[in-house]
């Protein structure tokens, strides 16, 4: 499964066990944007475990409380943030402290993030 959704603030790619979101330069992600993203994720994964990767190639702001709401979905089991700037790592650390329902990790490359997310989705799954 691979589907892509375009928004005025970025795009969301849905894959089998994880989604990748890339936001546009300079946007602000708040509760309205999170509501759009949630609707697609819930429809795509239908109650199965999945992870979310934020590909932070652009600079933008995120309301951490909106992120906490997004991660309140019990099927969203982990988040990864990909980026190379120190600010991105510090934001990932902050989001991990605010979100207590699922771990959020920082990775300098997409391949490491995908591996970690895939492992987290498999953990606890019934084989």
pLDDT digits (tens, 9 = 90+) for 26-85: 999 999 999 999 999 999 999 999 999 999 999 899 999 999 999 999 999 999 999 988
Give CA separation, 47 vs 76, 90, 93, in Å. 9, 31, 27
Task: Give the domain ranges of the chain.
Answer: 3-122
Given the candidates 3.90.650.10, 2.40.128.640, 1.10.8.100, 3.30.750.24, the CATH classification of the domain at 3-122 is 3.30.750.24
Rounded CA Rg of the chain? 13
HSE value, Cβ hemisphere, 13 Å, CA-based, for 23: 20
Judge if pTM exceeds 0.75.
Answer: yes
pLDDT digits (tens, 9 = 90+) for 88-110: 888 888 888 999 899 999 999 99
């Amino acid at each position: 499964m691979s589907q892509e959704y375009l928004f005025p603030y970025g795009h969301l790619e849905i894959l089998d066990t994880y989604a990748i979101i890339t936001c546009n330069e300079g946007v602000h992600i708040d509760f309205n944007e999170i509501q759009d993203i949630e609707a697609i994720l819930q429809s795509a994964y239908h109650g199965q475990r999945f992870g979310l990767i934020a590909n932070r190639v652009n600079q933008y702001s995120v309301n951490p409380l909106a992120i906490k709401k997004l991660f309140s979905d019990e099927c969203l089991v982990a988040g990864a943030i990909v980026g190379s700037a120190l600010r991105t790592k510090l934001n990932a650390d902050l989001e991990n402290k605010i979100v207590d329902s699922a771990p959020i990790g920082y990775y300098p490359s997409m391949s490491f993030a995908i591996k970690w997310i895939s492992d987290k989705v498999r953990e606890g799954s019934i084989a």
